[in-house]
Amino acid sequence: MEAIKKIDGVDIVEGTYEAEGISEIDNKEVISKVLCIDELNKVFLVDGNLPQNTNECVVEENFLLENNKKIGDTIKIDIEDVKDDDGNEIQYLYNNEMKIVGTVKSPLYISNERGSSSLGDGKIDYYIYVPKENIQSKTYTNIYVKLKDIDKYETASSKYEDYVSDVKNKIEEIKSEREKARHDELVQKATDKVNEAEKEFNDKKQEADSKISDAQKEIDDGKAKIANSEAEIQTNEQKANSEFTKAEQKIASAKKEIQDNENILQEKEKEFNNSLTELEKQRQELVSNKEVIEEQLPVIENTYNSILKQLENDELNDIMKSELEKQKKQLEEQIDNLNSNLKTINEGIIRNR
């Protein structure tokens, strides 16, 4: 439009919109040419008033007469969606349900012929005018041009035709140049969009890489803590096993001694009393062993609870989760063994009171 304005002889340039729509009226399809109200090609108001709001429209008189409609009625027009410069599909009209506020005559349609259509039966039935503010599309479909001093010429005269033809040829001459400019503009918009998306991707990738690095450090720290805990558990387990062995040996020896003393109870009463003292000593040792186990159990349980807490972390990968599950199972077995041994010692202490 700006390029056409610069052509010699051009006075006014106006971009406008034109589309075809379907209305369902009394169970029949009505095809309408949907135009917008412009400064050039002004409509002539026959009755009512021109649209004041985006949900209003005006129609030709035959539209009302032939479809049993009147001013004040509402009609719905379905128009195929269009694409914006970014390739997104948008609804052609903001409001496709509109109130009829008047009837008009159009300077574009002098005869009763309304033209052909790709919709319905292929024939346009009527024209409808809507305000530009109701059109969501930002791409003009038509450009109307008024020439300077055109009123000096008689319409359809040879001078008129030559003048119009001369300006028309000048417009045709810039056609290829403007098409290329439009193409380059769309390509640049698409390129900018790709570059913006690429930058956003790189920024998010960098952020993700940083989070992954931090997570890996936490995993490595967790592995080190688990390794230290395992070493401590193994040491405690060895100590506990050694104490259990000693306790079992002492219990077995005491039982044998008791059995022997029962055979010679009457002759060895003094020795029997000494044996009771020895049993009390052994019981004290069992109590001591019990205290050792009771000190070790909280340490192991704390390590177990730490692993449970780590398993609640949703960011753990499958390898780390599998390793923690394995350690969890080992700790559960150790805790069960220690509790079992503790129970055995308690039973031994009770038996030897």
Q: How confident is the model at residue 95 (pLDDT cuts 50, 70, 90)?
A: very high
- For residue 190, name the pLDDT band (cuts at 50, 70, 90): low
- Rounded to 5°, angle at Cα 179 from 175 and 180: 120
Within the chain, what is the greatest distance between any pair of CA atoms?
Answer: 156
With CA atoms as reference, report the closest residue to 139 among 181, 83, 87, 189.
83
Residue 200 confidence (pLDDT)? 78
- C-alpha 304/C-alpha 314 separation (Å) is 18
Q: What's the mean pLDDT when you consider all of the chain? A: 86
Find all residues with CB under 8 Å of 44, minimum gap 6, and list them. 104, 105, 106, 107
Q: Which residues pair with 219 in a beta bridge?
A: none
Does residue 69 carry a pLDDT above 70?
Answer: yes
Q: What is the predicted pLDDT for the residue at 269?
A: 78
**Structure tokens that stand for 204 in this block:** 């998010």
Residue 148 has pLDDT above 90, yes or no: yes
Residues 5-49 pLDDT 10s:
999 999 999 999 999 999 999 999 999 999 999 999 999 999 999
* DSSP-assigned states of every residue in 194-243: HHHHHHHHHHHHHHHHHHHHHHHHHHHHHHHHHHHHHHHHHHHHHHHHHH
69: left (phi over 0), alpha (psi -120 to 50) or beta: beta
pLDDT for res 209? 76
In the chain, the percentage of residues whose pLDDT exceeds 70 is: 97
Residue 213's CB is within 10 A of a number of other CB atoms, namely: 10
- Pick the residue with more confidence: 161 or 184? 161
Sign of the dihedral through C-alpha 154, 158, 163, 165:
positive
Mean per-residue pLDDT, 211-223: 81
Q: How far is CA 180 from the centre of its chain?
A: 37
Letter for the amino acid at 103? T
User: Which pLDDT score, from 0 to 100, does residue 353 have?
Assistant: 66
pLDDT band for position 143 (50/70/90)? Answer: very high
CA 176 from centroid of its chain's CA atoms: 42
Q: With bands split at pLDDT 50, 70 and 90, how would you rate the model's confidence at 57?
A: very high
Looking at residue 102, what DSSP letter applies? E
Question: What pTM does this model have?
Answer: 0.52
Radius of gyration of the chain from its Cα atoms, rounded to whole angstroms: 48
Is residue 64's pLDDT more than 80?
yes
| Whether 75 contacts 57, CB under 8 Å | yes
**Helices and strands, counts by H and E, the chain:** 6, 12
Most confident stretch, 18-27, 79-88, 271-280? 18-27
Q: Cα separation of 324 and 337, whole Å?
A: 20
Query: Hey, which of 45-49, 237-241, 309-313 has the most confident mean pLDDT?
Result: 45-49
Q: How far apart are CA 223 and CA 50, in angstroms?
A: 78
Q: Mean pLDDT over residues 299-306, rounded?
A: 87
Strongest mean pLDDT among 43-57, 134-148, 249-263, 321-335: 43-57
Q: Which residues contact 72 (CB under 8 A, 6 or more apart)?
A: 99, 100, 101
Q: What would the mean pLDDT of 331-346 be, rounded to a whole number?
A: 85
Range with top average pLDDT, 235-244, 246-255, 273-282, 309-318: 309-318
Q: What is the DSSP string of 270-288?
A: HHHHHHHHHHHHHHHHHHH
Query: What's the one-letter identity of residue 193?
Result: K
Side-chain half-sphere exposure of 292, counting CA atoms within 13 A: 19
pLDDT of residue 4: 93
Q: Locate 24 and state its tokens.
A: 């369902």
* 295 or 98, higher pLDDT: 98
